[in-house]
Chain A
Amino acid sequence: MAEVAERLKDIIKPENLIYGKSPVLNNVTMHYCPGCSHGVVHKLIAEVIDELGIQDKTIGVSPVGCAVFAYNYIDIDWSEAAHGRAPAVATGIKRIMPEKTVFTYQGDGDLAAIGTAETMHAINRGENIVMIFINNAIYGMTGGQMAPTTLLGQVTSTTPYGRNVDLNGYPLKITELIAQLPGAAYVTRQSVHTAAAVRKARKAIRKAFELSQQNIGTCFVEVVSTCNSGWKMNPVESNDWMVKHMFPLFPLGDLKDGGKDKTDGFNLQPQ
């Protein structure tokens, strides 16, 4: 045993470190269910903030939803918004302190139902903020009710017989709508269900935060996510279900890149 301990001592050295928890992530236990995507996305955001060295200039806006306590986990200043209002709160912060990096972190109910107006208008104004959108097709925090992105036929506590198009309408592909907005600079859809997907999502989040330093419009990252508690599955089943049922409707990849639209040609000159 002593020999093993001696050998471990040789291995655990700073120069051998290949992975560590980001210092921007607090040393607390997250309240998220095992298997939930939130924790991974939090970690990625914390790592990006650390890498870019912008901890002291980044203000986060947390939503109402499972991520309401995001401010407990990422060690930056936060403003906790009312349900759906995060893009308006972020607008207020960014406009009044343009030198800061401001991001919202919202779920599907927050961003695509109650806050649709705030979402669309903030992006249409080209607010120079980052928006992280966790789409898990369900209301997690309130106990698994239908979300705007709930799939047709999907069972939730308010669609106990499955989402019915005549009763509930269609799942909202809000990211496709957002990609049409001239104020959007970068719109992408990612996931974090495999190591490869996590690496890609990390790159996308980093790109969004980097672009937001250039003030070229809104950077929007959707993360198609799992909610195994809400879906009543185990984490592995959830990942499979997401790949099988959500990806066809919410395909991964970039939807827009290259900054907000130019106004040449359709900008009346005031007298």
Chain B
Amino acid sequence: MGELRLMKGNEVIAEAAIRCGCDGYFGYPITPQSEVMESLMAQRPWETTGMVVLQAESEIASIHMVYGAAGCGKRVMTSSSSPGISLMAEGISYIAGSELPCVIVNVQRGGPGLGTIQPSQADYYQATKGGGHGDYSLLVLAPASVQEMHDFVALGFDLAYKYRNPVMILADGVIGQMMEKVELMDQRPRWTDEQVKEITGSWATLGKTKDRSKHVITSLEMDSHIMEENNLRLQAKYNKMKQEDVRYETILCEDAEYVLVAFGSAARICQKTVQLAREKGHKVGLLRPITLFPFPEKPIEELASRIKGFMTVEFNAGQMVHDVKLVVNGKTKVEYFGRMGGILPSPDEVEQALLQKLIGG
């Protein structure tokens, strides 16, 4: 059993980064996630594990520092909140195009524009449909607890290196600001130079030695035929993610007639709604996508053929609902309920919506 602590979601990102042997963090302050860099700076990991922590002049600079450092085969990350992620969109596209591994944390707040600093899930489209220019996908993990905030940092790096692709941890202000009991992993050493060379030596910019040709980190290709090949290679990678790394959780779906679909802190609220509805005799279950890309299509497809309806619950205007509808393809009803602007629906509010839109209707 690892060390138990009571920690905020944001603080635990920092702790997990250090403990999993992360090599570097580059970031810029923005509410509601500034505790990530504050915790790192307070801990001074450069004196212990050798991890680099740098406050950049902007989110734009942060993500390009990540680009440079990730190109060296090092395990690096950044974190921000919605408006900052928009600024990073350029760099994220380059990182995806250059096939570099890294972890990006988005502790979402409400938008559009400057919006609000209160929690939101309105960046679902941005996270799962690319966000920047060009055909690319991030592997998106949606933590629903402080423990998952912790676990997904190490998992994120594993997946980022498995696919040489950026991984986004799509959290929200609730998970970022909430404190929960968390079991911390034991300190793992950072990769040694030999390990970095072994794992990334075929592509990273480690310095050109006589025994190999030069390595170039780039997304540029002027030959259209080769560029199309590059695009096809990326798509094959995303398909592999769909085959091998879909993650989700189901709660009381076995006998369910109605299933709520929600991720992150919305799923926590729905867990309570399931309990309230069951107390009243309604057979309600919850499906919680843990990976938003790749999306858990199979379990939804299976449920679609036997339940009376789905309702997505989202802190946005209805984004994930479209992915559910695509999978369900008319086989059963798909409804949406959500709140915006930083308002969090309460469990009974979700229950009432469920009664109105599905059970009672």
Q: Which residues of A contact B (CB under 8 A)?
A: 55-59, 61, 68, 71, 75-82, 85, 88-93, 95-97, 100, 117-118, 121
Shortest C-beta distance, B215 to chain A (Å), equals 5
Specify which chain A residues have a CB less than 8 angstroms from the CB of B26 in the assembled complex: 92
How long is the Cα–Cα vector from A121 to B59 in the complex, in angstroms? 13
Of chain A, the residue at the smallest CB distance from B196 is: A97
Specify which chain B residues have a CB less than 8 angstroms from the CB of A78 in the assembled complex: 205, 214-218
Interface residues of B in 19-36 (CB under 8 A from A): 23-24, 26
User: A95-B65, A96-B52, A118-B57 given as contacts; is B208 within 8 A of A75 (CB)?
Assistant: yes
User: A76 contacts B65, CB within 8 Å?
Assistant: no
User: B208 contacts A56, CB within 8 Å?
Assistant: yes
User: A95-B54, A117-B58 given as contacts; is B67 within 8 A of A81 (CB)?
Assistant: yes
Q: Which residues of B contact A (CB under 8 A)?
A: 23-24, 26, 52, 54, 56-58, 60-62, 64-72, 74, 76, 90-91, 94, 98, 205-210, 214-220
User: B68 contacts A76, CB within 8 Å?
Assistant: no
User: B91 contacts A80, CB within 8 Å?
Assistant: no
Q: Can you sample 13 A-B contacts with CB below 8 Å?
A: A55-B208, A75-B208, A79-B216, A80-B220, A82-B64, A82-B90, A82-B94, A88-B65, A92-B66, A92-B68, A96-B52, A96-B69, A96-B76
User: A76-B214, A77-B207, A90-B68 given as contacts; is B52 within 8 A of A95 (CB)?
Assistant: yes
How long is the Cα–Cα vector from A77 to B24 in the complex, in angstroms? 21
Of chain A, the residue at the smallest CB distance from B58 is: A117
Of B60, B71, B74, B220, the residue contacting A68 (CB under 8 A) is: B220
Shortest C-beta distance, B207 to chain A (Å), equals 5
How long is the Cα–Cα vector from A79 to B209 in the complex, in angstroms? 16
How long is the Cα–Cα vector from A95 to B64 in the complex, in angstroms? 13
Shortest C-beta distance, A53 to chain B (Å), equals 12
User: A92 contacts B76, CB within 8 Å?
Assistant: yes
How long is the Cα–Cα vector from A201 to B140 in the complex, in angstroms? 49
Specify which chain A residues have a CB less than 8 angstroms from the CB of B58 in the assembled complex: 117
Looking at B54, B61, B62, the one whose CB has the most chain A CB atoms below 10 A away is: B61
Specify which chain A residues have a CB less than 8 angstroms from the CB of B68 in the assembled complex: 61, 79, 81, 88-93, 96
Of chain B, the residue at the smallest CB distance from A97 is: B72
Of chain A, the residue at the smallest CB distance from B74 is: A96
Specify which chain B residues have a CB less than 8 angstroms from the CB of A76 in the assembled complex: 207-208, 214
Shortest C-beta distance, B204 to chain A (Å), equals 8
User: A80 contacts B69, CB within 8 Å?
Assistant: no
Specify which chain A residues have a CB less than 8 angstroms from the CB of B74 in the assembled complex: 96-97
Specify which chain A residues have a CB less than 8 angstroms from the CB of B64 in the assembled complex: 81-82, 85, 88-89, 92, 118
Of chain A, the residue at the smallest CB distance from B26 is: A92
User: A80-B216, A82-B64 given as contacts; is B69 within 8 A of A117 (CB)?
Assistant: no
Shortest C-beta distance, A211 to chain B (Å), equals 20
Specify which chain B residues have a CB less than 8 angstroms from the CB of A58 in the assembled complex: 207
Shortest C-beta distance, B9 to chain A (Å), equals 26
